[in-house]
């Protein structure tokens, strides 16, 4: 089974935390559990950590869809 969580690095405190890939989309907001900074996931963000998390989540969602589609074929 593929892990459905993506690692996110907070740009304020530099700590890592994880969130489900299904939730991380453009406009999604999440509070860092360590420093409580509100992080808004926006593809036009200057923050590389946010763009990296969005890209990883998109790739993981596609991989999960491919696994589900191949399971349906069998």
The whole-model pTM stands at: 0.88
C-alpha distances out from residue 26 to 45, 64, 65, 68, Å:
10, 19, 19, 23
Q: What is the pLDDT of residue 73?
A: 76
- DSSP, collapsed to helix, strand or coil, labels residue 73 as helix
Q: What is the pLDDT of residue 1?
A: 58
| Segments of the chain with pLDDT less than 70 | 1-2, 74
């Amino acid at each position: 089974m593929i892990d459905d969580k993506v690692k996110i690095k907070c740009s304020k405190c530099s700590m890592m935390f994880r969130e489900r890939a299904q939730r991380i989309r453009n406009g999604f907001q999440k509070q860092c559990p360590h420093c409580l900074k509100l992080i808004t996931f926006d593809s036009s963000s200057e923050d590389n950590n946010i763009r990296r998390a969005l890209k990883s989540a998109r790739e993981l969602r596609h991989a999960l869809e491919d696994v589900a589609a191949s399971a349906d074929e069998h």
